Amino acid sequence: MAENRSKHPAQLDSTPWGHKWGFADTEFVIHDDRSVELTGERYNLSGYRMYDFLPYIEEVLGIRLDLADLKEEIVDKPVEPPIRNEAFCAAVEQAFDPAQYSFDEKLRLLHSHGQTTADEVYKVLYSKLERFADMVFYCESEEDAKKLIRLAGEHNVCLVPYGGGTSVSCALKLPSAEKRMIVSVDLCRMNKIEWIERENMRASVQAGIRGSELEEALQKEGFTCGHEPDSIELSTLGGWIATNASGMKKNRYGNIEHVVEKITLITPEGTIDQAASLPRVAMGMQPQNLLFGNEGNLGLITKAVIKIHPKPEVTQYGSLVFPSMELGTAFLHKLAYTNYIPASIRLVDNVQFRFGLALKATVSGWKAVIDKAKKFFVTKIKGFDPEKMVAATIVMEGSKSETDYQKRHIYQLAREFHGMPAGSEAGQRGYMLTYGIAYIRDLVAKFHVIGETFETSVPWDKIEQVCAAVKKTAAEGHKKHGLPGKFYVSYRITQIYHTGVCIYFMYGIYTKGLEQPAEVFGKIEHSLRETILANGGSISHHHGVGKLRKDFMNDTLSSDSIRLLRNIKEDLDPHNVFGVRNNVLAD
């Protein structure tokens, strides 16, 4: 197995793929011997051949992949000519530097979608979007934001905020019925840390900074933000706030609403802000709280004051295997009420556990002997069923005494539920898999497979019920639409709370022969969300609503609550300058 040759971020080529996920130096490729390799040097999955990858895909989908039968990506992707509001264009030309705006077709297409698979990326690669951004504008300051919003209001132009482009809820999908000129407002140039207060452990940060940029800059000063969503390499601080995001290490650092202390939002009717950044304040109703999850409907988030933490002295990884999902979940339930919860702990079901094994390299020599001995011990001596066993990955951060305390007590608790330590290397690998496996979607799409992830939060007593119901509904949808092979459903528990968990599902189908594969996939996915809500789950845990889940808002909020939100929109943006139409404003 080739060693991981990961580089310092400054040495990597961070050119994005654009319409597909991630960076152009990274891609899953298939060799003539049917082994799979992740190119580049960015991840610990990179640089070696995986011989069990394709057999695993074929097994779980019940198909045989024909590597010569590729779904051809459209090379010259269609883009409609821009709708031009000439008076607005003239005003922009007069007020801003030419480098701040563009009508370039490739840039317009890139800013016309997020990363929702069937509704956006699939259409870009193999079909055509319904609506395109007419101009891309690069905001460089708060004054730019105010000036642009004023001009848009004066000339009846629609503005859509754009951060890292990683939305998977169709929040960046442009309304097809919008007849006005649409300007995608890219915040990527507002990516600076304005100041750091070391004694107060807070920093003022511009909203367009990517998570990776934020962490690199903070760590140079000896700090960390700690907010680490799966999309940290690409997503932005403003996007985290706009979607009400969660990070993998929320147990230690909190979700985004716990990270952010103060937000600045520029709206057509003025600035929403607090006079001071304070640890906590009882000022009555707080308008700022409405900005979490606003999904671009209200204005431009330009900056936020965030809590920061000393760079951890130690980061320890660990892993556990359990005989079954039920025992692993029971372990998490008891762990949730202890004082040694690690920064991150995630439990994958058997399907994902086997997937992790399929992504390993074939080993030989003494290491192969050791691996075989470990497998014999787990399956023969301990009696674990390979078709039922599950795994948990653990990340512990802090001082050495703190992480040692967590590790000792976590492993001790695991024994009560027949859990066995599986090593720090497996824990680190499992944790870092998150970044590499995101690229798999774009590989399997070439072979007529559509896959997506979706998540929910559920109470502890509804976990088994929700997971079973999702599998049942997926099976019914597969049969109803006469799909080939088998459906793919797997899940992991990614966050634990006092009253419940976040469940993160992966779903996929083989669509060879279907006339409208994206539409069929969308219908089944919609039915899966219906099932989740009917069985006690939430509309979303951290991806948000966007347009993908807009139909479920009446099942989520009372009619008077929806009316309140619409009234706030009307007051802050009476002419609907920010007309992206997400969430309760989708209709």
Annotated catalytic sites, by residue? 504
C-alpha dist (Å) from residue 475 to 216, 348, 452, 517, 525: 44, 21, 16, 17, 12
β strands within 200-343, DSSP E? 202-206, 223-224, 260-267, 270-272, 300-307, 309-310, 314-322
Q: Which residues contact 380 (CB under 8 A, 6 or more apart)?
A: none
Q: Which amino acid is at 447?
A: F
CA 322 to CA 204: how far, in whole Å? Answer: 43
CA 160 to CA 464: how far, in whole Å? Answer: 39
Q: Where are the alpha helices (DSSP H) in 177-229?
A: 211-220
Which DSSP letter does residue 236 get? Answer: B
Report the candidate in 190, 419, 438, 428 with the shortest Cα–Cα distance to residue 322.
419
What value, to the nearest 5°, has the Cα angle with vertex 576 and ends 574 and 581? 135
CA 441 to CA 438: how far, in whole Å? Answer: 6
CA 491 to CA 455: how far, in whole Å? Answer: 9
CA 255 to CA 330: how far, in whole Å? Answer: 24
C-alpha dist (Å) from residue 584 to 14, 163, 273, 580: 36, 21, 23, 11
CA 249 to CA 342: how far, in whole Å? Answer: 8
CA 5 to CA 35: how far, in whole Å? Answer: 20
* φ and ψ at residue 34, rounded to 5 degrees: 70, 15
Which DSSP letter does residue 117 get? Answer: I
User: For the CA atoms of the chain, what is the radius of gyration?
Assistant: 24
CA 228 to CA 384: how far, in whole Å? Answer: 33
Block residue for tokens 């490729």: 29
CA 462 to CA 455: how far, in whole Å? Answer: 14
Structure tokens at 135: 């101009």
What stretch of H or E contains 61? helix 53-61
C-alpha dist (Å) from residue 67 to 58, 73, 216, 437, 464: 12, 15, 40, 20, 37
